Structure 1
């Protein structure tokens, strides 16, 4: 049965059959072709058996494997490598099929190659998942045929391989590398001018020319009979929280990715940068209930906890309870912290309903409300109109777009920091706002 299951007829064989059939048909009018057609038929049968012998007689045949990262990165192109080797004594023609996870909905994966005896081959392709979760790769199938191309032998490797898709690890590593090399400006992050002094005291030292005279410590000067100044350092270990709204407003998709996933990817990259800058990072997700709460901790290993929590975050179909969020922040976050709130408001009335809770949170903490531009509306606004109906649609789109600007001004009026951004620019603007707040000593 294994022999029967692995034996396939090559497409070229049917072309041979078509030629023989044509010879038999023509022999009706050209009789001398009839014995030639039968001779060719017996030759084809002999070649069929010989091709089977060539493919099934060797003890060592073909080896192949698929190399997949331990974790795939959501919304990024992840490289998958196929490696294969031929141990046959003749040239082989290979047709390789990799059974991709059902989430990709791709059923036409096919790669062709040819190998000589003992030759190695490899092929690399990339997959871009747009949902977190478990992705199961099926069989790696290789069809081998000889130069005769009459039959194909099927080989199966690596039955079923599950790979988890996590929030964008590639994006996090990219920003991490640039922050270490001080090249964040390469991705559009602005350099923020530092204003004034940070407030974390380091030591008292003797005055040297060039020190700011406003930092002179008069009590220490009197004791030492020499000018002494206070020295400050950048404030560290300040609590920073990513707060993600998982309600229905975050289900809206852009470029195949939900707003929630944009927020999750940005939170991971932002938390990594904050930890590298010696701040404490935490996580809170909510909708009708508080779903996840991770207290702010200043440990590099703490990022793994945040990553695992973000892996399991999903949206709900209900409206989010900002009153519940205010109660959780008041009970659990006791120190003044930077709160990055990822949510979305499509109407100014929706913002005004939640504004009392946002103001209550902002009294004790530095609150940054992050919401999204509707890029589909922007494309509609820029489109040339051809009819009265299109003018009407464009007018409504402009109204919704202007409401986003009004929401931003409304929050600024009450002293709440905001980020209004396109989904694909979220990570950049979030990190930039964090660096700005740190540089200006607002926390």
Structure 2
């Protein structure tokens, strides 16, 4: 694209005044006023021809692969072309990012034709820089030569888990999980650990009669809580989960709670996989093990995007069940309004609980609870309270039906979602339900 610069506009405006005066003073020589226009057009043509160099343009964007929500990061733009003229560049970005001091500027020749910009990550997700505008002027400065280059540079905006890590360590200490292994408890668990002398008070089922007969004394089997369990974190990113709670979308709070539980499970020796869905499955990671895999889970969590579509529980949970080849703890982060919208979900959950341990994580609807408890100062307040109370009762009907189907349900405050999940997960391990 070639278009005139500000200097050309001012030059044309400056030449219009003398041309008007000549035409006014000497009407018979009006055509002399066109000389300035013709001269300016000639300079514009020379400037445009001399400023070409699009074929030799080489541009790139260097951005970090990942950054935390709210963090600032640097982006370096490098653009080089055959001409000696200085150039300017501007980068296109999506709504997850915000420029700190502008999204473009002059490319510094002293730095090899580069430009350093600063951006701030606003929302979780995969942010992208999709286009790059580069322009430079001709030798007279009358014409801009502009090129729009398609680029593909993605930055994974990860949830801020700094507070979650500290909270996870505290919960691990409270649960007495030393060095990432489950605490061994004699007589509990299903995984054989060792033989020891039988002590009064031990259950008779713990006695190993064959080895006791061989050694001539009573020996008891000692078990420990089984590790290597399969934990699936299924996060609903549909329309209802994208509604804000205290200024933060529910799906973001669910992702933070899921990462907290993933950190605990990986430290405890279990396998963790992530599954995101709305109208259809969107994100699916394989099962990973070990604390070093937490970075991969965190990066895949950034791919769970916001959606305005209705959640298809039948497709999502059926697909998830088909991928599980062993008994797993399936933790589903979701929300629903009434029994009618949750009917298909209830049918699918009944089949899922036949083989797997299913736990539903939901946030309390503080807005509805506030409306239901509002003092009735007017007729509108009474109507709001009645409607809110009815919706809360319908919500409890769905929760009751889920529990009748064998699923576990936690309805926690949005600030306590992560700790409540971790406490229930540790309780499952203590009770050998996994």
TM range (shorter): 0.5 to 0.7
CA distance in 1, matches of 2:217, 2:100: 80
Provide the residue aligned with 2:425 in structure 1. Answer: 434
Residue in 1 aligned with 2:225?
A: 234
1:222 corresponds to which of 213, 220, 224:
213
CA distance in 1 between counterparts of 2:190 and 2:290 reads 22
What is the distance in 2 between the residues matched to 1:131 and 1:329? 24
Inter-CA distance 299–106: structure 2 relative to 1 (3 Å threshold): closer
Aligned to 1:270: 261
User: Where do 1:80-95 residues align within 5 Å?
Assistant: none
Task: Show the counterpart of 1:11.
Answer: none
Paired position in structure 2 for 1:61: none
- TM-score scaled to structure 2, two decimals? 0.63
Q: CA shift at 1:249, angstroms?
A: 1.9
CA contact (8 A) 2:359 2:407 kept: yes
Equivalents in 1 of 2:242, 2:430: separation in Å?
34
Aligned to 1:328: 319
* Alignment partner, residue 174 of structure 2: 182
Q: CA deviation at 1:322?
A: 2.1
Q: What CA distance in whole angstroms lies between the structure 1 residues aligned with 2:262 and 2:232? A: 8
Paired with 2:155 and 2:315, the residues of 1 have a C-alpha distance of 36
Q: Report the number of matched residues.
A: 306
Give 1:387 shift: 1.1
Q: CA deviation at 1:163?
A: 8.0
Which of 169, 172, 176 pairs up with 2:161?
A: 169
Asked if the contact 1:380/1:397 (under 8 Å) is kept, the reply is yes
Contact 1:73 1:170 in 2 (8 A): no
C-alpha contact (below 8 Å) 1:130/1:257 kept by paired residues: no
* Aligned equivalents of 1:180, 1:275: Cα separation in 2: 12
Counterparts in 2 of 1:334 and 1:424: CA distance versus 1, 3 Å: same
- For 1:285-325, what per-residue CA distance to the aligned partner results, in whole angstroms no more than 9, with x for missing partners? 12232212222222222111111111121132222222222
Q: Distance in 2 between matches of 1:383 and 1:130?
A: 33
Q: Equivalent residue for 2:77?
A: none
Once the two structures are superposed, the pairs formed by residues 107-186 of structure 1 within 5 Å of their partners are 129=122, 131-134=124-127, 165-182=157-174
TM-score by length of 1: 0.61
After superposition, give the CA deviation of every residue in 1:248-280 in whole Å (9 maximum; x if it has no partner): 221111122111111111111110011111111
Q: Hey, what's the Cα distance between the residues in 2 that align with 1:246 and 1:195? A: 42
1:230, 1:262 → 2: CA distance?
A: 43
1:180 Cα shift?
Answer: 4.3
Matches within 5 A, 1:60-79: 73-74=68-69
1:365 aligns with 2:369: no
| Residue in structure 1 matched with residue 390 of structure 2 by the alignment | 399
* Unaligned stretches of 5+ residues in structure 1: 1-68, 81-100, 109-126, 137-161, 185-193
Shift, 1:400, TM fit: 0.9
The alignment status of 1:280 with 2:271, answered yes or no, reads yes
| 2:233/2:332 contact within 8 Å kept | yes
Q: Take 2:175 and 2:194, find their aligned partners in 1: how far apart are those partners?
A: 31
CA-to-partner distance for each residue in 1:417-440, whole Å, 9 max, x for gaps?
011123222112111221121111
CA distance in 2, matches of 1:398, 1:325: 30
Please say if 1:314 is aligned against 2:335: no
Contact 1:130 1:256 in 2 (8 A): no
Q: Is the 8 A contact 2:229 2:328 kept in 1?
A: yes
Do the aligned partners of 1:195 and 1:440 also contact (CA within 8 Å) in 2?
no
| Inter-CA distance 181–78: structure 2 relative to 1 (3 Å threshold) | farther
1:293 aligns with 2:253: no
d(CA) in 2 for partners of 1:421 and 1:304? 27
Contact kept in structure 2, 1:166 and 1:311, CA below 8 Å: yes
How many Å separate the matches in 1 of 2:95 and 2:251?
A: 22
The 3 A distance-change label for structure 1 pair 380 and 326 is closer
Distance in 2 separating the partners of 1:386 and 1:195: 60
Q: Give the CA deviation at 1:78.
A: 6.7
Q: Which residue number corresponds to residue 254 of structure 1?
A: 245
Aligned partners of 1:131 and 1:165 also within 8 Å: yes
